[in-house]
Chains A and B, each alone.
Chain A
Amino acid sequence: MINLTINGIQRSFEGDEEMPLLWHLREDAGLKGTKFGCGIGQCGACTVHVDGEATRSCSVPMASLNGTAITTIEGLADGDNLHPVQEAWLEEDVPQCGYCQAGQITATAAFLKNTPNPTDDDINEGITNICRCGTYFRIRKAIKRAAENMQNA
Chain B
Amino acid sequence: MTALSRRNFLKSGTAFAGLTVLVSNSPALLATDSELHHGIGPCLRFSSEGLPILCVPTPDMGQGMMTTAAQIIAEELDLELSAVSVEFLPFVGVIDENGVAQDGDLIQGAGGSHSTMTLWPALRKTSAYVRALFIEAAAQQWAVSSNSLFTDDGYVINRKTGAQLSFGELDDAVQTVSLDKQTIELKPIKDFKVVGKDATNVAARDIVTGEPVFASDIEVPGMLHAAIRRCPHLNGKIVSFNKGTIEQLLGVVAVEKIDRYPEEREEFRVLSDGVAVIAKTYWQARKAADALEIEWDGDISKDDSTDLILEKCNALLKNGEFKQVQKRGDVDAAFERADKTIDVTYTHPSWAHTCIEPHNCIADVKTDTAEIWVGHQTMSRPANIAKKFAGIDAAKVTGHFYRMGTGFGRKYVEDFVAEAVILSKRVRAPVKVTWSREDEIEQDYPNHMGAYRVRAAIDDKGDLSGWHIKTALDTGRDWVARDFPANTMDNTLGEVARVPNNISRGAWRGPSHNTGAWVVQSALNEAAYAAGRDPLEFLVALYKQTGTVRAPNWPNMDIDFRRHAAMLEKVASESGYGKKMPSGWGHGIAVHHTFVGTCAHVIELEMVGDNDYRVHKVTSAIDCGLAVNPLGVRAQVESGIMDGLCAAKYGNLVFENGVPVTNNFDSYRKMRIDEAPAVVDVHIMDFGDTDPKGTGEISLPPLIPALTNAIFAASRKRVRTLPISENL
User: Are B210 and A102 in contact, CB atoms less than 8 angstroms apart?
Assistant: yes
Residue from A19, A99, A124 in contact with B674 in the complex, judged by beta carbons closer than 8 Å: A124
Say what secondary structure dominates the interface of chain A. loop
> How distant is the Cα of A37 from the Cα of B354 in the complex, in angstroms?
10
User: Are B670 and A130 in contact, CB atoms less than 8 angstroms apart?
Assistant: yes
User: Are A129 and B638 in contact, CB atoms less than 8 angstroms apart?
Assistant: no
Q: What chain B residues lie within 8 Å of A77 (beta carbons)?
A: 209
Chain B residue at minimal CB-CB distance from A97: B62
Residue from A32, A36, A125, A127 in contact with B210 in the complex, judged by beta carbons closer than 8 Å: A32
Q: What chain B residues lie within 8 Å of A136 (beta carbons)?
A: 642, 671-673, 676
> How distant is the Cα of A98 from the Cα of B404 in the complex, in angstroms?
9
> How distant is the Cα of A24 from the Cα of B355 in the complex, in angstroms?
24
Known: A23-B283, A33-B211, A77-B209. A40 touches B638 (CB 8 A): no
| Chain A 2-21 interface 0/1 with B at a Cβ cutoff of 8 Å (1 = within) | 00000000000000101110
Q: Counting CB contacts under 8 A, is B97 at the interface?
A: no
Q: Counting CB contacts under 8 A, is B281 at the interface?
A: yes
> How distant is the Cα of A37 from the Cα of B404 in the complex, in angstroms?
13
**Which among B200-208, B238-246, B443-451 touches the partner chain?**
B200-208
**CB contact list, B432-446 vs A, under 8 A:** 434, 436-437
Q: Counting CB contacts under 8 A, is A145 at the interface?
A: no
Q: How many residues of B contact A (CB 8 A)?
A: 61
Residue from B216, B436, B673 in contact with A140 in the complex, judged by beta carbons closer than 8 Å: B673
Q: Counting CB contacts under 8 A, is B505 at the interface?
A: no
> How distant is the Cα of A148 from the Cα of B107 in the complex, in angstroms?
44
> How distant is the Cα of A36 from the Cα of B215 in the complex, in angstroms?
12
User: Are A137 and B665 in contact, CB atoms less than 8 angstroms apart?
Assistant: no
Q: What chain A residues lie within 8 Å of B643 (beta carbons)?
A: 134
User: Are B642 and A134 in contact, CB atoms less than 8 angstroms apart?
Assistant: yes
User: Are A101 and B208 in contact, CB atoms less than 8 angstroms apart?
Assistant: yes
Tally of contacts, chain A with chain B, CB under 8 A: 178
Chain B residue at minimal CB-CB distance from A99: B405
User: Are B646 and A134 in contact, CB atoms less than 8 angstroms apart?
Assistant: yes
Q: Counting CB contacts under 8 A, is A29 at the interface?
A: no
Q: What chain A residues lie within 8 Å of B355 (beta carbons)?
A: 132
Q: How far is the CB of A27 from chain B (nearest CB, A)?
A: 6
| Chain A 81-122 interface 0/1 with B at a Cβ cutoff of 8 Å (1 = within) | 010001001100111111111100100000000000000100
> How distant is the Cα of A133 from the Cα of B60 in the complex, in angstroms?
12
Q: What chain B residues lie within 8 Å of A23 (beta carbons)?
A: 281-283
Q: What chain B residues lie within 8 Å of A138 (beta carbons)?
A: 635, 638
Chain A residue at minimal CB-CB distance from B670: A130
Among B62, B208, B672, the most chain A Cβ lie within 10 Å of the Cβ of B208
Q: Counting CB contacts under 8 A, is B64 at the interface?
A: yes
User: Are A89 and B670 in contact, CB atoms less than 8 angstroms apart?
Assistant: no
Q: How many residues of A contact B (CB 8 A)?
A: 59
Chain A residue at minimal CB-CB distance from B405: A99
**CB contact list, B635-678 vs A, under 8 A:** 635, 638-643, 646, 664-666, 670-674, 676-678
**CB contact list, B197-228 vs A, under 8 A:** 200-201, 203-214, 216-217, 219
Known: A31-B210, A45-B356. A97 touches B405 (CB 8 A): yes
| Chain B 281-294 interface 0/1 with A at a Cβ cutoff of 8 Å (1 = within) | 11110010000000
> How distant is the Cα of A31 from the Cα of B635 in the complex, in angstroms?
29
Q: Counting CB contacts under 8 A, is A35 at the interface?
A: yes
Known: A73-B209, A93-B635. A98 touches B673 (CB 8 A): no
Q: How far is the CB of B515 from chain A (nearest CB, A)?
A: 18
Q: Counting CB contacts under 8 A, is B297 at the interface?
A: no
Q: What chain B residues lie within 8 Å of A59 (beta carbons)?
A: none
Q: How far is the CB of A79 from chain B (nearest CB, A)?
A: 11
**CB contact list, B51-89 vs A, under 8 A:** 60-64
Chain B residue at minimal CB-CB distance from A20: B283
Q: What chain A residues lie within 8 Å of B282 (beta carbons)?
A: 23, 26-27
> Which 7 A/B pairs are nearest by Cβ-Cβ distance?
A33-B210, A134-B642, A99-B405, A97-B62, A98-B207, A73-B210, A136-B676
- Listed by A's residue number, 12 A-B pairs whose Cβ atoms lie within 8 Å are A36-B216, A38-B665, A39-B436, A43-B670, A93-B200, A93-B631, A98-B201, A98-B204, A99-B405, A134-B641, A134-B643, A138-B635
